[in-house]
Amino acid sequence: MCKTIQLRHGDGGIHTSKLINDIFYRYFGNPILLKGRDSAIFEMSKGRLAYSTDSFVVKPIFFKGGNIGKLAACGTINDLTVSGAKPLYLSAGFIIEEGFDIGQLERIVSSMQEVCSKTNTLVVTGDTKVLDRGSVDGIFINTSGIGSIYDNYNPDPIGIGDEIIITGGIGEHGTAIAIRRYDLNIQGNIKSDCDSLTNILVGIKKFLPHVKMMRDPTRGGMATSLNEIAEEQGIEILLEEDSIPIADEVKGVTEILGLDPYYLACEGRMILISEKGYGEKIVKTINKLENGKDAVLIGRVVDKSKGIVCLRTTIGGKRRLYALSNSMLPRIC
Amino acid sequence: MCKTIQLRHGDGGIHTSKLINDIFYRYFGNPILLKGRDSAIFEMSKGRLAYSTDSFVVKPIFFKGGNIGKLAACGTINDLTVSGAKPLYLSAGFIIEEGFDIGQLERIVSSMQEVCSKTNTLVVTGDTKVLDRGSVDGIFINTSGIGSIYDNYNPDPIGIGDEIIITGGIGEHGTAIAIRRYDLNIQGNIKSDCDSLTNILVGIKKFLPHVKMMRDPTRGGMATSLNEIAEEQGIEILLEEDSIPIADEVKGVTEILGLDPYYLACEGRMILISEKGYGEKIVKTINKLENGKDAVLIGRVVDKSKGIVCLRTTIGGKRRLYALSNSMLPRIC
């Protein structure tokens, strides 16, 4: 077998078949995928489906806490999860540069499969394109996914007093990427939070009738996600600055680089808005779950007349937190 | 509005929102997409689903008969169609180079929507990434799609005597790309066959109990698709060379370039294998449909002991037609 990807691996002929067999089928292999047809075919029972897609172009492709493959699987799985769905099936489309190291491809695909195994998700259909050197920067991955929405998730509109939860520290993915991208020599253990959120959804299943909104604050970070919700629902969200979990390393790195952690991508955190009075119970439940020990209430809905997000600062002031209005860090995911 | 794509159009903030509103929502707009959530959400009834994905990296992005957008919509719709499914929902992921012309993006998106309108398919979820100049060659598009498989399509294994149909001339997409790529000054009207096959599936719906296999011969062309079928089912397919429809311009251009039309991609043709005795009836039905006037029987299954494809040549000989074993024309789709 070749050690690097060649143009012929993408031409649809016998070399493409070999690559599919040697790498993709070996890791993703499941009875639906292995039929090798133009489409995956499976039975679905009646119900509400969630369907999502994302392309991943992160640079560098390997970073502390993950790689582009882990990110591509988690990204789509999390989009389904925050829609209240159990993720079931994924598609995976690879665009690869001629000369790309097949060992690296294997690590990437293996990471994707780890996430799939952990979340009981199957990659059932895929595609590989190979481009000449210089036409694509290494590897890009698109995933799409289908999930089945839990019957007891039928969110009511958000109202005054509803409570805002974040499941862990913010900005860690963005910070891990920045450290690698700018070759910062930083002490400490900061790594990307990149992970699947499915266990958290499953863990709080009995509370779903009291959950009004879930989001994963990826590109644009927590501030942008909350502003989107506020604008869409015409609500004012008031956050308590002191309660927002931000690791010291994230504070340090963002200060050095002039970045703002509120706008830095998370790739394994969930924002959850719960019915008034349920926030603490949900937080306690999440605290017992993997990736949930730092979950905390960070604010509440205080008004229904305007779509804005405000921050009660440590010194007692109140300032508006806007949606991201200019580029932070490109190729974060 | 800017005339070219800027990095900030991809950062997930307000410029991304503006691009989504101005271009993607304007063309694709439908109630499911316009919810603007992390996932599209829709009800499905019980049944068999088809699910497929493809990435499109064609170069040049505009060619006679289509563009990367038309191709991206048709490609996935056709993968669902040849699986016996009515296409329902698409995802669309765009990876765009900084500086890309927004007018061109609009033409591309508009072409995608034309295909969707024609096939009653909705783009319900999407994603846009913008990369710095040089990291991606112009624009790549990934589509995935979900379709509902017709209840009367439960294909039996292929047997001796079963008949092979092609719905039109082969190699026209590959030829159209080659002409543009190599700036050939060719007379004539050859254009890509790029189009949706959904109307053909709908037109032959009553014959589906007598259809054993459908394929769209894209990368690797007709020869590769037939070899995949032959190998998978352990059958020998014998084609009549004289009956295979190849336009004169395709013959001319492929001779000049040393390409073989049997291996050149089609993007709007279907190979169909019908139960013995049904081929002529199905051909006559297809002949009355758009893009079906040149549909014709091109061969039959002659043996069940080996997975090969042979060609009875014009002069009466018989030669083996192999799967594509080396690169023909990269970035064809």
| A165 pLDDT higher than 70 | yes
Question: In the prediction, which pLDDT does A279 show?
Answer: 98
For A40, name the nearest residue in chain B, comparing CA atoms only.
Answer: B51
Name the closest residue on chain A to residue B38, using Cα atoms: A79
- Asked whether residue B181 is domain-assigned, the answer is yes
Chain-centroid distance, C-alpha A212:
19
Q: Does B60 touch chain A (CB under 8 A)?
A: no
- Within 8 A of A220 by CB-CB distance, chain B residues are 11-13, 16
Q: CATH code at A30? A: 3.30.1330.10
Contact status of A134 with chain B (Cβ, < 8 Å): yes
Amino acid B324: pLDDT: 82
Chain B contact for A12 (CB, 8 A cutoff): yes
CB contact under 8 A, A93 and B142: yes
A 140-169 residues inside an 8 A Cβ radius of B: 140, 142, 144, 146-147, 149
Give yes or no: residues A129 and A200 share one domain.
Answer: no
* pLDDT score for A292: 98
Measured distance CA(B10)–CA(A332) in Å, rounded: 10
Of B13, B130, B136, which has the smallest distance from its Cβ to A224's Cβ?
B13
**pLDDT at site B1:** 60
Rg (alpha carbons) of chain B, rounded to whole number: 21
Residue A1 scores a pLDDT above 70? no
Cβ of A11 within 8 Å of Cβ of B327? The answer is yes
Q: B-contacting residues of A 96-125, CB under 8 Å?
A: 124-125
Give domain status of residue A333, yes or no. Answer: no
Does a structural domain hold residue B108?
A: yes
Q: Which long-range contacts (CB under 8 A, 24 or more apart) does A253-257 make?
A: A253/A175, A253/A178, A253/A179, A253/A184, A253/A186, A253/A190, A254/A171, A254/A175, A256/A184, A257/A178, A257/A182
Domain boundary among B126, B149, B172: B149
B218 CB near a chain A CB, below 8 Å?
yes
Comparing CB atoms, the residue among A37, A44, A50 nearest residue B41 is A50
| Residue to test with chain A: of B28, B37, B39, most A Cβ within 10 A | B39
Q: Which residues of A touch B40 (CB under 8 A)?
A: 50-52
User: Given a cut of 80, is residue A278 above it in pLDDT?
Assistant: yes
Dihedral, A83, B148, B48, A199 alpha carbons, nearest 10: -10
Q: Which residue of A has its CA nearest to B55?
A: A93
| CB pairs A-B closer than 8 Å | 257
If asked whether residues B78 and B188 sit together in one domain, one would say no
Same structural domain, A145 and A207: no
- Given a cut of 90, is residue A329 above it in pLDDT? no
Is B156 among the domain residues?
A: no
Residue B283 belongs to what domain range? Answer: 163-320
- B148 to chain A: nearest residue by CA? A41
Nearest to B181 by CA among B270, B79, B104, B259: B259
Residue A221 to residue A324: CA distance in whole angstroms? 8
Residue that wins the pLDDT comparison between A245 and B190: A245
Backbone φ and ψ for B13, nearest 5 degrees, come out as -100, -150
Contact A140 B140 (CB under 8 A): yes
Closest among A61, A228, A255 to A171, alpha carbons compared: A255
A92:B53 CB<8 A: yes
User: How far is B284 from A32, CA to CA, in rounded Å?
Assistant: 34
A80 contact partners, CB below 8 Å, separation of at least 6: A50, A52, A86, A87, A145, A146, A147, B38, B39
State ipTM: 0.96
pLDDT in tens, A74-100: 999 999 999 999 999 999 999 999 999
Q: Which chain B residue's Cα is nearest to A83?
A: B39
Structure tokens at B11: 């950062």
Q: Residue B326 and residue A95: Cβ atoms within 8 Å?
A: no
Per CB-CB distance under 8 Å, the chain A contacts of B38 are 52, 78-80, 82-83, 215-216
Contacts of B328 in chain A (CB under 8 A): 11
How far is the CA of B273 from the CAs of A110, B75, B116, B213, in angstroms? 37, 20, 27, 5
Distance from CA of B115 to the nearest CA of A (A): 19
Nearest-Cα residue of chain B relative to residue A15: B325
pLDDT of A183 reads: 83
Under a CB-based contact definition with an 8 Å cutoff, are residues B221 and B174 in contact? yes
Chain B residues whose beta carbon lies within 8 Å of the beta carbon of residue A269: none
Nearest to A89 among B51, B323, B327 (CB): B51
Of residues A187 and B136, which shows the higher confidence score?
B136
User: How high is the pLDDT of residue A314?
Assistant: 87
Q: Which chain B positions have a beta carbon within 8 Å of A149's beta carbon?
A: 41
Is the pLDDT at A312 greater than 80? The verdict is yes
- Into how many domains does chain B fold? 2
Chain A CB contacts of B85 below 8 Å: 39
Whether B135 and B214 map to the same domain: the answer is no
Same domain, A191 and A281: yes
Asked if B57's CB is within 8 angstroms of A39's CB, the reply is: no
Kindly state whether residues A260 and A229 are assigned to the same domain.
Answer: yes
Judgement on whether residues B167 and B141 belong to the same structural domain of the protein: no
Is the Cβ of A8 closer than 8 Å to some Cβ of chain B? Answer: yes
My answer on whether B174 and B310 are in the same domain is yes
| Cross-chain Cβ contact A131/B57 below 8 Å | yes
pLDDT at A327: 64
Instruction: Note whether A13 contacts B137, CB cutoff 8 Å.
Output: no
Residue B22 maps to a domain:
yes
Q: Are residue B198 and residue B312 in the same domain, yes or no?
A: yes
Helices and strands counted in chain B (H then E)? 10, 14
Instruction: Give a yes or no: residue A260 inside a domain.
Output: yes
**CATH code where residue A228 lies:** 3.90.650.10
- Looking at residue A11, what is its pLDDT? 82
Q: B131: which chain A residues are within 8 Å (Cβ-Cβ)?
A: 57, 137, 330-331
Same domain, B19 and B144: yes
- How far is residue A82 from each of residues A208, A224, B88, B145, measured CA to CA in Å? 11, 16, 23, 21
Residue A290 resides in a domain: yes
> How far A247 CA sits from the closest chain B CA (Å)?
23
Claim to verify: residue B177 and residue B312 sit in the same structural domain: yes
Last residue of one domain, picked from the residues B149, B179, B202:
B149
B39 sits in the region (left: phi over 0; alpha: psi -120 to 50; else beta) called beta
Same domain for A16 and A119, yes or no, is yes
| Residue A40 located in a structural domain | yes
| B132 interface with A at CB cutoff 8 Å | yes
CB contact under 8 A, B11 and A41: no
**In this structure, what token pair is assigned to residue A175?**
């910070």
**Interface contact A53-B126, CB threshold 8 A:** yes
pLDDT beneath 50, residues of chain B:
none
Nearest to A142 among B47, B142, B263 (CB): B142
